[in-house]
Structure 1
Amino acid sequence: MSEDRPADQTDVRMDDDLALRPEREATVGSAGGREPRGDGRRGDRRRGERRRGDRAMVPEADFRSYYGLPVLNEPTWHDYDIAGYLFLGGLAGASSILAAAAGVTGRPRLARAGKVGALCAIGGSFYALIHDLGKPSRFVNMLRVFKVTSPMSVGTWILSAYGPQAGLAAVTAVTGRFPRLGRAASAGAGLTGAAVATYTAVLVADTAVPLWHDGHRELPLLFAGSAMAAAGGLGLLAAPLAEAGPARGTALLGTALEAAAYLRMERRLGPVAEPLRRGKGRLVRLGEGLSAAGALLGATAGRRSRAAAVAAGAALLAGSACTRFGVFHAGIASANDPAYTVEPQRARLAARERQRNGVPE
């Protein structure tokens, strides 16, 4: 080899042995020419610790998703189909309950309005569900089994039991024929109507969508309140002032229940509830405002003015629809953002670790 080569090159000999110059030799445990830290034994320093002035060569991991993709697959449900299904099902179930109560207390026109409205609403709900499924045979196929642990299976049977009774109650109320059969059907629809109004909350909470899943405690109450407000609004629209007392009371009670459930869910979920305050999720706030305005208007001016009662009823129906659409879109937004899946999991793991180590909260 020639001796006039640069001094910083490595000597390569014919026997394939590498002869490193002393100034280029690496010492085990050294880093960039600094002295070895400690005695080089494992455990001398905690993993991840660095001395003051050391520069991290790799940035701290901040896991959010895999290659920028969502952690969860977005639900394939169509917004107008499923959000409309949620709204119309709640309206139908609560209207049947209100109609049954009106029939018992001697308010025939309010009862008839509730029965006819329930039949129209459940018909629209069936249409939205089947349109989302793609073909009616898929709904019929779900009736082959009954699985108590599946909200979808239970909900299918609830709808199948409720629909014929709601239809029979409405037909007998309009025609005036077979009154005993109509009363029995009205009572049956009222009993199953409570499940129709709330089972959809259990259905969506049984998914992995963060907002829906974590809000499983409050969603049934939120949906029940929204359904009651919608049924009260329908009663104010269709019934005369003299018979609209139960509708006004139902609207007030439903609005209060909806607002309380929403407030509790927002506080308990913390950051997971953020989609309810932005984007289309803000429809829930709009729905609360419309429902509150409609309930107050119906309870005050709606007692004496037919125009005020109609305006109150329209506001209540619009508010209930906004609530269902807002909850639906906020859930989709929470599924698309990995933070609402990863961060709660991290928080739960940290809480378990603190509990295991006896560290107070």
Structure 2
Amino acid sequence: MLTCEIHYAQKNKAGEEVCGDTIKYKKSELKTVVSVSDGLGSGIKASILSTLTASMSTTMVFNNIPIDEVFRSIISTLPTCKVRGISYATLATCYVDHQSGQCDIYEYDFPVVLIYRNDSIFDVEKKLLEIEGRKVYRSSFTSQPGDILFLMTDGITQAGMGTKRFPFGFGIENVKMELKNLLKHKVDLRSITQHLVRLAEALDTGTKGDDATVCAIKIREQRNLTIMVGPPEKKEHDEIVVRKLVESNGKKVICGGTTSQIVEKILGQKVEIDFSSISPISPPIGYMEGIDLVTEGIITLTQVFRYYESQTEEIGIGAQKLIDMLEEADVITFLVGRAINPAHQNPLFSHDISLKFRLIHDIGLILQKRGKIVNIEYY
């Protein structure tokens, strides 16, 4: 199963409080849709138009609306500039099927879409679609792990326009050369997007400049994490949940002493305790064959929650290792036992969270806001 790793950077036109470019994306375990739109002009008006365009396209494509209907809706909704005779927003929308790898890119007056495979430009034929008298281009190919797509607005290619060095702007060929060098030296995508935007900002010094946006989409294998927390409400469900844990794809974590005892009993294995991990704030962690991490339950999860909420920077080794796994994962599944432990009434919370499933629910919301796909199953 594939997934899409998304990074982007933006700058506002000099003197404007908001960016006239917009990026919107939606992800599930099965697909990703990313849209980048550039509103005509700059400032609030451009931002509103690009937000409307990107939001409509992302939502409709994600919901499997036929592409001609998507663009018909967008074209009929957006006004046309009477002076220039062009639409008030450009658009590029990328759809990736995580199972088949099928990638479809739709472009409407959009300046730059570049596809890289093995650090080199990967040329894909563009097919013209006439929709409501407008030209929409479609590119389709089967993506592979490692493929990278760059979507960028003309604030990048036209940066420095009117200057002595780049009278016609930085240009697409210079962008390609810059990307080739950065990819060759294995620069991470977040840094690449930031570098291109900073470069545009530097080139625009002394000019009116423009909004500028770079979005990078990397296709890679999906990373999964399954966490078993607490014993099931019914003992006859113990084996069902343990089997679901051990048969899941990706990394596996057990949270809780009672939970680890259940897994030990079902699998006939013992948890190896790492006594060097004990500290005044850290219960010990452990390891088991086939399991990547075994931690204490409620204290560890509380530290994870408080860390994400910036309530503390002091966390134990178990919480830190779990956070590292959460950050690495794309899809996170919590297998939550409903058995209630009175000891879980925890005074460390700054707001009234007294049950483990409330804690996990809140951690799940935080992870979703960070772009993770979170599943919570109760037993």
Is TM-score (shorter-chain normalized) higher than 0.5? no
Question: Comparing both structures, which one devotes a greater share of its residues to strand?
Answer: 2
Question: Comparing both structures, which one devotes a greater share of its residues to helix?
Answer: 1
The TM-score by the shorter chain falls in which range? under 0.3
TM-score (norm 2): 0.23
